[in-house]
Amino acid sequence: MQRRTEITSQTIADKEFWRWSEYHRVITGKKWRSTDILTAGVDVGSVGSKAAVMINGEAYAWAITRTGSNSPDSATKVLDWALKDTGLKVGDLKFIVGTGYGRVNVPMANKAITEIACHGKGANYIWGPTVRTVLDVGGQDIKAIRIDQTGKVCSFLMNDKCAAGTGRGMEVFADLLKIPIEQIGEISLKVEEEPPPVSCTCVAFAKTEAMGLLRKGWSKEKVLAAYTRAMAIRMANLINRVGLERELVITGGQSKNIGIVRRIEKVLEIKCLPMPRWQDTGLDPMIAGALGAALFAKSLYEKAQKG
Amino acid sequence: MTIEKPERKYTPEISAKEIQELRKTIRSSSEKVIADNIARMKKADPKRPYSMLYFDEIADLFGKRQQEIEAEKAKGKKVIGYTCLFAPTELILAADAIPVRVNSGWFDAAKLGDRVVPVEVCPVLRSTIGAKMIELSPFLEQSDALISILTCDGMTKFGDIMSDYKPVWRMSVPRIKDESHSMRFWYDEIKLIKNQIEKFTGNKITKGKLKEAILETQRATRAFRRLQELRKGSPVITGRDAMLVNQTYLWDDKKRWTEKVEALCKELENRAQRHDWVCPPDTPRVMLTGTPMFWPDSWKLPNLVEEANPKGIIVADELCSGERILNDPVGVDEWTIDDMLNAIGQRHLMASTCPCFTSEDGNQDRLNWLLNKIKENNVQGVIYYVIRGCILYAMEYTRIKKALDKINIPVYYLDTEYTREDVGQMKTRVEAFLEMLSVQVDI
Amino acid sequence: MDLGTQKVKAVVLKDNMVVGRGQAYSGFDPTSAAKAAVNASLKQANAQLTDVACFVATGSSMELAPYAKSTVSMMGADAKAATYRFPKARTIIDVGAEEARAVKCDERGVMTDFVVNERCAAGAGTFIEAMARALEVKLEEMGPLSLKAERASQINASCVIFGESDVVSLIHRQEPKAEIARAIFDAMADRISSMVHRLGVNPEVILVGGVAKDPGFVSSLNRKLSVKVLVPEYPDFNGALGAALTAVNRCKGGQK
């Protein structure tokens, strides 16, 4: 049984369409002892900060918040929140690994590891040893990662010089079209016929592009579909360039955008491994990086103990 | 001998005031970068060889070497600049002139070049053009003439643009080097440039002088190779230090450079004997290949690699700004003028691994060179470095990748620009690559 | 009328003098916005729609303008209006919400050359807005804030999104907001001055467009161009003014 705490309210969602839910969760079935190897991973992304706490390499508690600019201590904040209701304090953790864009800003971390390695590891943890290709769409990054059966990175590719398709890009879009970001995926699928993808994906010109299409009489859903399709094609291209090998999974915020997921599957002619039902019992793919970091924390701790 | 000032075909007129202001700003920022780079290299190696101090001094582009050349010019010596390693520097030396490579390593100057050519053009060229516009580069300014080698499209038009400022002598490079008529053609180009140099300097290139110049270059090559040998084993010198030593050859006094490198090698050999490694021997060993990296601003990537978390060490490179400079000696059979000219031609053309070449087996020379280096220097990963706009290196990537995939050597394609803006992004990619190579985060 | 991507601006001239100004947000319906802007400007002029002899439209959405029977390019409008206000104007820099352009003209206000920054929103007003949001500073406070800084931080100016995250990380590193604000203006000014140099800088240089209202940007641009730019009153109405001046010539001989 899990407990959930959400801090968004419907009224905020009305005004700020780009705002997604921040929350923290503890798996209450689990208990920890001081002899356990308690570790944590803190993933400070450019848009979202995530922290995951593990007991002997098993997920126990986690939290996701927005990396604001008025919280230079977003690492501390998100870790504290993950520990809330666990009875644990930061000092009880044996080893902490920081990752993500802001990994150098995780003051309590014993080590920093890139989010590429952490997402590989995290994907392996969430979905198992059959995963070979991971697409992580973060706040400002898109990464395609090839891993082996242990989650170790074999090769990777990242988006270069263009933020189209990243989380921030989608947020801008949601706000523009006045659609709550958590519904952006569903709504993009509400079209009878799939429109052609937009030719200009630049986020900065999104407004002009969108306005042009709306003036042509396109519905909001159609505009959204056209954009989502263009983004999905970009992401599929990145996956192809790194080399697609089954199984494929998607992590990061965009994993929850069903519009993106379905379209990527269509282009690549492959089905991604299904997302675990994170709202109820499963692990949130958004914390894949933090989970990977917490796992690295465990093995680094064990290695240090061996001397 | 008077040189006519050619009419400006490409470049705009800029007020002397603006030139001075821009030069002052960029030069002072460059001096900071040079000092910062050296400080970081010192920090990376607390027991840095004493001999490196000499190279630090020569690395100051606005310092000692500039003054020396100035003094030589006052005595009547000519300075001949060049942009590619195809330029037969032995001929320049034999004519008692000073050869200097003049490609620009200043990021800020690239923006000025934008006033003459669009931003899609090779940043190295844009930067060199920009540097010339504000008279920033000591060696470019001191050059009395330029040898422009027509390797790629950019280089071809670059010669045109530079002729707004200086006499430019062009040398065509045959794009297919292994045809018999290619070497004949190149030999003719060498002869032509020899005449050009003689006329310009007023000095005849005699058999004796040419032999002396070749011998000097051979000595330099030996010292150079001695240094690269020392990078094959566990690390006794940081990649950045070695790269700096290699690159200073391009503007330093050749004889003195050779002596100082020999002294450095002695220190490093002692270090190797003592097993006094500059970093743990299991540090991921990286090779760089691709577009040239010119001092000082292009130390951007090497700094990242060797200061990353986890750290890497650059044990080799396939760069025409690095290990390609002096790797191959001029191999002379008989010391006749013809034979010597032939040998010079051979060395500069046939040994080149530049991607401007093509042939039935493609640029096999480059691939072989890379594979060899990987084996000899125990390279664990390759960073394929391309400056945006360089079509030749970009297009050879997939071939190199396929070959390296076969031997399980990870390659990472890293493209960038003449800018400091993307350091943050590059850091993530470089660190992720080094993590892949490193054994430390193994579970 | 100047139908820009963000706002529609309207200017009314009577006997070659400005008697009314009006503006409205373009939103998703620039035509209605244009009507509102025109109405506002006419109200100020104490005039009716029927009093107007001629309408000319300009701006990125000029084809959607109501009333106007003809249009003029933004570059042409800029040149006309700038020389009207500054007879010695020879180079005009117009920085709008999504586009920036530089125009060269002669003493008659006839455009002789121009250059536009294409495919790069990091050289226009949207960039400042996005950065202001990331900095959590009000748009109108950005300029004064930046003027307080002695130096500029280092930021990525090639993309709005990457620039944003650079700003976020600079704040995490506790860089003073004033220096970040200045960096933002410097980056934009850099881009724009590069573009202007391709045209050649002929004094006098006039800066117009919405962004010209920002003292932070003006200061940065002066520094990067090594020339002091002149900014007219109501610089964001320059395009509309130019269109109105064009209307004067086009409708000569028409009804009063």
| Contact status of C229 with chain B (Cβ, < 8 Å) | no
Does the structure show a pLDDT above 80 at C254? no
Q: Tell me the chain B residues in contact with residue A154 when contact means C-beta distances shorter than 8 Å.
A: 410, 436
**What is the least distance, in Å, from the CA of B306 to any CA of chain A?**
16
Average pLDDT over residues B204-214: 97
Within 8 A by CB and 6+ apart from A22, the residues are A6, A7, A8, A63, A64, A65, A66
Cβ-based neighbours of B311, under 8 Å, separated by 6 or more: B279, B283, B284, B434
pLDDT over 50 (residue B443)? no
> What's the rounded Cα separation, in Å, for the pair C1 and C56?
6
Residue type, C40: A
B314 DSSP β-pair partners: B286
pLDDT digits (tens, 9 = 90+) for A249-289: 999 888 889 999 999 999 999 999 987 766 655 788 999 99
Question: 3-state SS of chain A: helix, strand, coil percent to 5?
Answer: 40, 20, 40
Q: Does A149 touch chain B if contact means CB atoms closer than 8 Å?
A: no
Does the pLDDT at position B2 exceed 60? no
Chain A residue numbers with beta carbons less than 8 Å from the beta carbon of B435 are: 113-114, 116-117, 153
- pLDDT score at C256: 35
Calculate what percentage of chain B has a pLDDT beyond 70. 98
Q: Which amino acid type is present at position C241?
A: L
pLDDT in tens, C190-211: 888 888 988 888 889 999 998 9
Say yes or no for a CB contact (<8 Å) between C194 and B115: yes
Q: Which of residues 321-350 of B touch C (CB under 8 A)?
A: none
Contact C197 B114 (CB under 8 A): yes
- CB pair distance less than 8 Å for C121 and A202: yes
Mutation to test the A interface, candidates B428, B430, B440, most A Cβ within 10 Å: B428
CA distance B140 to B102: 6
Residue B416 to chain A, least CA–CA distance (Å): 9
Strands (E) in chain A, as ranges, are: 2-6, 23-27, 38-44, 48-55, 58-66, 95-99, 111-112, 133-137, 142-147, 153-158, 248-251
Chain C's closest residue to A213, CA to CA, is: C28
Shared-domain flag, residues C212 and C93: yes
Q: Do B111 and C154 touch (CB under 8 A)?
A: no
pLDDT at position C187, please? 86
| Cα separation, C27 vs A64, whole angstroms | 34
Residues of B in contact with C162 (CB under 8 A): 425
Query: How confident is residue C123, by pLDDT bands cut at 50, 70 and 90?
Result: confident
Instruction: Give dist(CA A107, CA A127) in Å, integer.
Output: 30
- Does the beta-carbon distance from C172 to A72 stay under 8 Å? yes
Contact residues for B435 (Cβ-Cβ < 8 A; gap 6+): A113, A114, A116, A117, A153, B310, B441
Q: What integer pLDDT is reported at residue A280 of this predicted model?
A: 59
Across the interface, whether the CB atoms of B421 and C155 are under 8 A apart is answered: yes
Question: Chain centroid to CA B338: how far?
Answer: 28
Interface membership of A240 toward B (CB under 8 Å): no
User: Do C170 and C193 fall into the same domain?
Assistant: yes
Measured distance CA(C163)–CA(C207) in Å, rounded? 24
Cβ distance C166 to B424 less than 8 Å, yes or no, reads yes
Which pLDDT score is estimated for A12?
37
Q: Indicate if C99 and C3 belong to the same structural domain.
A: no
The model's pLDDT over C139-189, given as tens digits with 9 standing for 90+, comes to 889 999 999 998 888 776 667 777 777 787 777 777 888 999 998 898 889
Compute the nearest-CA separation of A122 from chain B (Å). Answer: 13
B307 touches chain A (CB under 8 A): no
Q: Which of C154, C166, C194 sits opposite B114 (nearest CB)?
A: C194
Task: Please indicate, yes or no, whether residues C64 and C94 belong to a single structural domain of this protein.
Answer: no
Do C94 and C167 belong together in one domain?
A: yes
Task: Give the residue from C223, C233, C199, C23 showing the smallest Cα distance to C101.
Answer: C199
What pLDDT sits at residue C119?
A: 56
Residues C67 and C103 placed together within one structural domain of the fold? no
The shortest C-alpha distance from C30 to chain B (Å) reads 34
C123 and C62 in a single domain? The answer is: no
User: With contacts defined as CB-CB under 8 Å, which chain B residues touch A117?
Assistant: 432, 435-436, 441
Chain A / chain B CB contacts < 8 angstroms? 45
Are residues C130 and C209 both part of a single domain? yes
Query: What residues in C contact B424, CB-CB < 8 Å?
Result: 156, 166, 169
- Are residues C60 and C146 located together in one domain of the fold? no
Q: Does C166 touch chain B (CB under 8 A)?
A: yes
The answer, yes or no, to whether residue C137 has pLDDT greater than 70, is yes
pLDDT, mean of residues B347-361: 91
Question: What residues in chain A have their Cβ under 8 A from chain C's Cβ atoms?
Answer: 46, 67, 69-70, 72, 74, 101-102, 105, 139-140, 161-163, 166, 168-169, 202-205, 207-208, 211, 214-215
CB contact under 8 A, B442 and A152: yes
307 residues of chain A, pLDDT tens digit each = 333 333 333 333 335 666 778 889 898 788 899 889 999 999 988 788 999 999 999 999 999 998 875 445 788 999 999 999 899 999 999 999 999 877 877 889 999 999 999 999 999 999 999 999 999 988 778 999 999 999 999 999 998 667 777 887 788 788 878 888 888 889 899 888 899 888 777 777 777 788 788 888 889 899 999 989 988 998 999 999 999 999 999 998 888 899 999 999 999 999 999 877 666 557 889 999 999 999 999 999 999 998 7
Domain range for C38 is: 1-81+237-256
Question: pLDDT by residue (tens digit) across C48-81?
Answer: 999 999 999 999 888 889 998 889 999 899 999 9
Mutation site for C-interface testing, chosen from B111, B120, B420, B428 by largest number of C Cβ within 10 Å: B111
Chain B residues whose CB is inside 8 A of the C157 CB are 421
d(CA B121, CA B142): 25
Please tell me which chains touch C, using 3 or more CB pairs under 8 Å as the contact test: A, B
In degrees and rounded to multiples of 5, residue A258 shows phi and psi of -60, -25
Interface contact B432-A121, CB threshold 8 A: no
Asked whether the beta carbons of residue A169 and residue C28 sit closer than 8 angstroms, the reply is: no
B31-47 per-position pLDDT tens digit: 999 999 999 999 999 99
CB contact (8 A) between residue B441 and residue A300: yes
Mean pLDDT on C221-234: 91
Residue C77 near chain B (CB below 8 Å): no
CB neighbours of residue B254 within 10 Å: 18
Q: Is the pLDDT of residue B344 over 80?
A: yes
* Tokens linked to A111: 């080590």
Q: A41 with A300: CB under 8 angstroms?
A: no
Based on the fold, state whether residues C76 and C97 are members of the same structural domain.
no
**Distance (Å, rounded) from C-alpha B396 to C-alpha B354?**
10
Whole-number average pLDDT of chain B = 94
Chain C residues in contact with B111 by the CB 8 A cut-off are 190, 194
Query: Do residues C138 and C119 both lie within one domain?
Result: yes
C-interface mutation test, from B10, B18, B120, B421, most C Cβ less than 10 A away: B421
Asked whether residue C103 falls in the same domain as residue C214, the answer is: yes
Best to test chain A binding among B383, B413, B427, B443 (most A CBs inside 10 Å): B443
pLDDT digits (tens, 9 = 90+) for B386-442: 999 999 999 999 999 999 999 999 999 999 999 888 888 899 899 999 999 986 445
For chain C, the domain total comes to 2
* CB atoms A202 and C172 under 8 Å: no
Which residues in chain C are closer than 8 Å to A46, comparing Cβ atoms?
164-165, 168-169
pLDDT band for position B146 (50/70/90)?
A: very high
Residue ranges of C 129-158 with Cβ closer than 8 A to chain B: 154-158
| B16 at C interface, C-beta within 8 A | no
**In the prediction, which pLDDT does B114 show?**
86
Q: What CATH number does the domain containing C153 carry?
A: 3.30.420.40
**CB A69 to CB C168 under 8 A?**
yes
Can you say whether the dihedral through the CA atoms of B335, B337, B338, B340 is positive or negative? Answer: positive
Q: What average pLDDT does range B1-25 have in this prediction?
A: 82
Residues in chain A, overall count:
307
- Please indicate whether residue B49 or residue A277 has the higher confidence score (pLDDT): B49
Q: Average pLDDT for residues B286-312, to the nearest whole number? A: 96
Give tens-digit pLDDT for B120-131. 899 999 999 999
Residue C255 C-alpha, separation from nearest chain A C-alpha, in angstroms? 35
Q: Do A207 and C121 touch (CB under 8 A)?
A: no
